[in-house]
Amino acid sequence: MKRRFAAALMACFMAVALVVPANAVQTRAARNVPKLDFDGTEAVCEFGYTKMGASISATMELWCGNAPEVIWTGRDKNTLKMSKTHTVRRGQTYTLKVSCTVNGETTKLPPITKTCP
């Protein structure tokens, strides 16, 4: 009887140990990371967002001064990864603006401004 109880208790602990990490992954996976870098005279604009079970869409806008130079859009489920390039001019300041919609809720992320070296 004690052996059966110990075996059942061990099985419960193992089941909980497998379920808890799966839930933790889903909680910490919801994150967004916009990025603006330069490779010579090319701006490299990146954005990623992951949330399991979510419908995700995003718009990336690369601005120079008061006008957008280029606008990209993307849409996917669970994970959206966007990586785009655009030819730019040295010495000019560019701003990457990203807005993301997850399950119908839109968020504008803080813009990133950098000067092309």
Write down all domains in the chain, each with its CATH number in brackets: 30-115 (2.60.40.10)
pTM of the predicted protein model: 0.72
Please give the average per-residue pLDDT across 61-70, as a whole number.
Answer: 96
The mean pLDDT of the chain is 85
C-alpha distances (whole Å) from 57 to each of 21, 27, 67, 69 are 27, 19, 22, 20
Enumerate residues 6+ apart whose C-beta is below 8 A from 3: none
Q: Which two tokens stand for residue 17?
A: 């140990």
pLDDT greater at residue 23 or residue 53: 53
pLDDT category at 4 given cuts 50, 70, 90 is: low
Question: What per-residue confidence (pLDDT) applies to 27?
Answer: 45
Measure the CA–CA gap between 22 and 44, rounded to whole angstroms: 33
